[in-house]
Structure formats: C-alpha cells, structure tokens
Amino acid sequence: MIGSWRWNITLGLSGSLLTLLFSIGDNGPAITGLRCLYAFIVFFALAFPVRAALAVILKPRPAAAMRHAAAAEEQPKGQAIDYSTPEQGEELRELLHYQTDGNVTPESSQQSDFKPLSPPKLVSTQNKEPEELAKAIRHLTGG
C-alpha cells in the first residue's frame, strides 16, 4: 500500500471536519459529535481501499520496467552533448557574401516582383453632410 496510517488519520479527520461543518447548523452538539465520530470511522476505513487501489495503479509493471532499463542502458540520454554543427560551408559562405555586398541573394532574384502592401486610405468625415453621417451611424448601430 502507498503511504502510511497517517493518510488514514488525515482522511478520517477531513471527513469528520466536513461532517461537522455541514451538520452543526441543523443538529445539536451531541448529535453532531456522534455523526463526526461515525464519519471519522467511515473515512478512516475507506482510506485502506483507496491506498490499495493507488498502489495497484501506480505500481510499475515488471516487463515495462525491464524494457525501460534496457533502453536506458542502450542510449544514456542526457549524458553527453554534441556541440558540432553540420557542414554547410559553401552555402553559408555564398549567403554571407551576398548579404555583406548588399546584393540580392540568388534565391530571391527570381522573386523580384515584390510589392509592399498598400492598404486603402481612410476617408475623412470633415466634409460630409450631417444627413449622410447620421445615416451611416444608424446603419452601424442597427437603428
């Protein structure tokens, strides 16, 4: 089982406290105390099956543990770091050469049709008729 008897005590006390909080307004102190005692006993007893179920659920399977151990022995991950970079000498040299000269790269020379985005201008409302503005506002507000 997972844990110790302290978990049973903790669960029993929490059940007893909840019973006290929900029962104190409707019952007298004697009835409330008796119900708190019953709740403690029930929650204490229920903690045993809960702990047993958690032990079964969280227990690693032997076959899975063996596979995990075998995989860990084959490839010790996180033990060594490879700082080497792949060789791209000629491509990198060519790219740096074109960038430092201010020329267009060979790949982008084929795409010389680039045009920046030109959004439409906003229309000013200074020279509009008041009736047109009121009609636009009514249209936007749905009125």
Q: Is 70 exposed, middle or buried (0-12, 13-18, 19+ CB in 10 A)?
A: exposed
What are the residues whose beta carbons fall under 8 Å from the beta carbon of 16, sequence distance 6 or more? 36, 37, 39, 40, 43
Q: What confidence tens digit (pLDDT) does each residue in 6-42 have?
A: 889 999 999 999 999 999 888 899 999 999 999 999 9
27 secondary structure, DSSP code = S
Q: Is 101 a residue whose pLDDT tops 60?
A: yes
Q: Is 48 exposed, middle or buried (0-12, 13-18, 19+ CB in 10 A)?
A: middle
Q: What confidence tens digit (pLDDT) does each residue in 38-71 have?
A: 999 999 999 999 988 888 888 877 766 566 666 5
Would you state the pLDDT for residue 72? 57
